[in-house]
Amino acid sequence: MAGTGTAHLHAPEEAMLRVENLTMEFPVGRTGLKVHAVSGISFDVLPGETLGLVGESGCGKSTTGKALIQLPAPTSGSVRFDGQELSGLKGEGIRKLRTSMQMIFQDPISSLNPRRKVRDIVAEPLHIWNIGTQDERRKRVDEVLETVGIDPNNADRRPHQFSGGQCQRISIARALVIEPKLLICDEPVSALDVSVQAQVLNLLEDLKAKYGLTMIFIAHDLAVVKNVSDRVCVMYLGKVCEVARSDDLYARPAHPYTSRLLTSIPVPDPNIKPDPSLRIQGELPSPMAPPSGCRFRTRCPFAQEKCAAEEPQLRDIGLGHYVACHFPLVGAGSASEA
Amino acid sequence: MSRQTLQSAQRRADSATLLEVRDLRTHFRSPRGLVRAVDGVTFSLARGKALGVVGESGSGKTVLSRSIMGLLPKRTTVRSGEVIFEGLDISNYGAKQMRDLWGTEMSMIFQDPMTSLNPVVKVGRQITESLTQRLDLPKDQAIDTARKLLGDVGIPEPSRRLNEYPYQLSGGMRQRIAIAVALACGPTLLFADEPTTALDVTVQAQILDLLDEQRRDRNMAMILVTHDLGVVAGRTDEIAVMYAGKLVEKAPTRALFANMKMPYTEALLRSIPKMEDPSHTRLQVIGGRPPDLISPPPGCRFAPRCPYAQERCRVEEPPLVEAETPDHFYACWYPVGSPEWANAQDRLNTVANVGGGA
């Protein structure tokens, strides 16, 4: 899987965010080895769109999310946001940029300072950027808290007095208080119960409509990603496997990895018996020495010699559905052309 | 009354009962008062069967399994009720007596495989420890058994892994090791407390397959505790739904999914995003939060969050009664499908339509 290529990108002027050949490598001590966390991925996000990034732990989805806000800056590759190239930015430039790109994290409790009042936590971005008078800030904070479903009368409490779901709402309020254009959600619901998860997902949808937000939604749960995303980008070991409109991806997954991911999801229906033969076998290869060619080939039931020799490129199989596989499961003629 | 109906049904059921829990209450002393984490739970489990215990955080599902296994701190726990295991009343067993059961009769795997293994002890010794101590196996035989166990739980190159530390393994591998440790002495009952919540979907599926396979091979009973109805649907014989320390519905898995009685169970199911729904489908949520277990609401504990709740629900506690299908119990005055429930739903729909039109 997992190829490179930029065939799936929209015209640069259409996209709000355009990422090309993003690479992120981390040195391993003084061994001279490198962890290839993200290896030349490209994707874009249109204004008002929600793009889902899915994959297992270690596929580089969170690293990608953080690289977008230059936290830290990527090893190479280009990130263009609203026409502005971010990869060379330093200091003040990056700080300014982060007012329009905000991020929320997985663990809602540890991402809030336990010693501060919720009101101060949410007001912090306004304070940093010196936006409004004290009264205006207070009003704005109350308004945002109200929107995310936290009673502003409780804003003088501290995070430990709220539940996990409420803390996630507070994190969302903090991200939204300075009216960002792009919200990056990194596994925002995976630490929550199913019932609370549903509340937070609905809230994100409401906020998107209300503020006209553009979102990148990072998660490992495909059902959750499908619910909120317009388009989904499937990642594996630092590469992109497949990009498609979300309904299309689920209706006809073209990459063997996507298809196996889909069958791993537990279905709340006792009549559908889990089938162990459809599991992805084995362990994720080490990102320090990723396999040659297609990175998924070591675990792919359909892998052939070509998969080891040649890295597949993302290509169109119709309806804006792109796959990086030499032998995709759908797409007429694709297998014979190889 | 609830206890009577359940017990009579159990007497009708097969005599191969492994575990019987009667009116178990487990409360904790806290500065604010008694926390009623488990408040009168009755159920039984047959040998070799899998029971799913489902509920939100704070429903008491974890405390229930730890209470049965005797893993709670004595000083702050107030426990009453009966726990009958293999026909033996173990309700008043102390730690010393329980220790004879741990590992050989009942064992547990926990949610977080990172913290449930000892980080400074090699994997091999963590498995052989119980083999040499409990089963008095000689060391070399214990190592052979451990190697075989690692193979059983799907770990490649078992001989090499025996000499590794937990940090050298991935999360899924660690959970497999934890399962090997739990299975080492051949327990008849395995508690799996959210065994896959900390894992990826793909690894989750592998671990659940493994538990299923081992349970069948060993004819071991399993109590699978989770908040996700999807996890238990294809892998259990029975499901018990807990809410605020109470058992609110219990049924054979198929019967439960075919005919949910308790609005809470239905709401739990509806809050899961479904693959077959188009994207941006609005999810149904359960409003509000579970109640404070120090002073739970009177009547039905779910009433404050239940869209169908009526006056009676807020005053009088519903008993656990048997449904028309056998072995299906629920605690609700106006279960899903009843005329009162239908009326309440009509009313809700009208309100929703009027609200939507405005």
pLDDT of residue B16: 84
Nearest chain A residue to B230, by CA? A268
Contacts of B283 in chain A (CB under 8 A): 198, 201-202, 227
Closest to A227 (Cβ–Cβ): which among B227, B279, B289? B279
pLDDT of residue B320: 94
Confidence of residue A191 (pLDDT cuts 50, 70, 90): confident
Establish if B293 touches chain A: CB-CB under 8 angstroms.
no
Residue B358 confidence (pLDDT) above 70? no
Kindly report the average pLDDT of chain B as a whole number.
90
pLDDT digits (tens, 9 = 90+) for B90-140: 999 988 999 999 999 999 999 888 788 999 999 999 999 999 998 999 999
Nearest chain A residue to B226, by CA? A193
Confidence of residue A281 (pLDDT cuts 50, 70, 90): confident
pLDDT of residue A3: 57
CB B258 within 8 A of CB A183: no
Residue B253 confidence (pLDDT) above 90? yes
Contacts of A237 in chain B (CB under 8 A): none
Residue B13 confidence (pLDDT) above 80? no
Confidence of residue B354 (pLDDT cuts 50, 70, 90): low
CB contact under 8 A, A227 and B289: no
Confidence of residue A276 (pLDDT cuts 50, 70, 90): confident
Confidence of residue A331 (pLDDT cuts 50, 70, 90): low
CB A170 within 8 A of CB B252: no
Quick one: which of B188, B23, B193 has its CA closest to B91? B23
Residue A101 confidence (pLDDT) above 60? yes
How many other C-beta atoms lie within 10 A of the C-beta of residue A127?
Answer: 12
Quick one: which of A203, A175, A232 has its CA closest to A49? A232
Q: Which two three-digit tokens encode residue A109?
A: 């409790």
pLDDT of residue B52: 97
Q: Return residues 52-71 of B near A (CB < 8 Å).
A: 56-57
Q: How far is A309 from chain B (nearest CA, A)?
A: 26
Residue B235 and residue A68: Cα distance in Å, rounded?
A: 41
pLDDT of residue A12: 85
Confidence of residue A338 (pLDDT cuts 50, 70, 90): very low
Kindly report the average pLDDT of chain A as a whole number.
90
pLDDT of residue A1: 40
Q: What percent of chain A has pLDDT over 90?
A: 67
Confidence of residue B202 (pLDDT cuts 50, 70, 90): confident
Confidence of residue A4 (pLDDT cuts 50, 70, 90): low
CB contact under 8 A, B267 and A268: no
Confidence of residue A335 (pLDDT cuts 50, 70, 90): very low
Establish if B202 touches chain A: CB-CB under 8 angstroms.
yes
Rounded to an integer, the average pLDDT of B296-314 is 93
Residue A159 confidence (pLDDT) above 80? yes
Rounded to an integer, the average pLDDT of B243-263 is 95
For testing contact with chain A, the best of B111, B215, B279, B289 (most A CBs within 10 A): B279
Residue B9 confidence (pLDDT) above 80? no
Residue A45 and residue A15: Cα distance in Å, rounded?
A: 6
Residue B58 confidence (pLDDT) above 50? yes
How many other C-beta atoms lie within 10 A of the C-beta of residue B298?
Answer: 12
Residue B147 confidence (pLDDT) above 90? yes
DSSP reduced 3-state for A36: strand
Establish if B200 touches chain A: CB-CB under 8 angstroms.
yes
pLDDT digits (tens, 9 = 90+) for B187-197: 999 999 999 88
Q: Which two three-digit tokens encode residue B121?
A: 């002890």
CB contact under 8 A, A222 and B173: no
Residue B215 and residue B221: Cα distance in Å, rounded?
A: 7
Residue carrying the six token digits 């497949």: A242
pTM of the predicted model as reported, rounded to 2 decimal places = 0.87
Residue B100 and residue A81: Cα distance in Å, rounded?
A: 64
Rounded to an integer, the average pLDDT of B164-185 is 92
pLDDT digits (tens, 9 = 90+) for A285-321: 888 999 999 999 999 999 999 999 999 999 999 888 9
Phi, psi of A116 (to 5 degrees): -110, 155
Residue B181 confidence (pLDDT) above 90? yes
Q: What percent of chain A has pLDDT over 70?
A: 96
Residues 6+ apart with CB under 8 A from B251: B238, B239, B323, B325, B327, B328, B329, B330
For testing contact with chain A, the best of B200, B225, B253, B276 (most A CBs within 10 A): B200
Confidence of residue B14 (pLDDT cuts 50, 70, 90): very low
CB contact under 8 A, A229 and B279: yes
Residue B40 confidence (pLDDT) above 90? yes
Residue B12 confidence (pLDDT) above 60? no
Confidence of residue A334 (pLDDT cuts 50, 70, 90): very low
CA distances to A42, A305, A314, B117, B138 from A326, rounded to whole Å, are 19, 11, 10, 42, 54
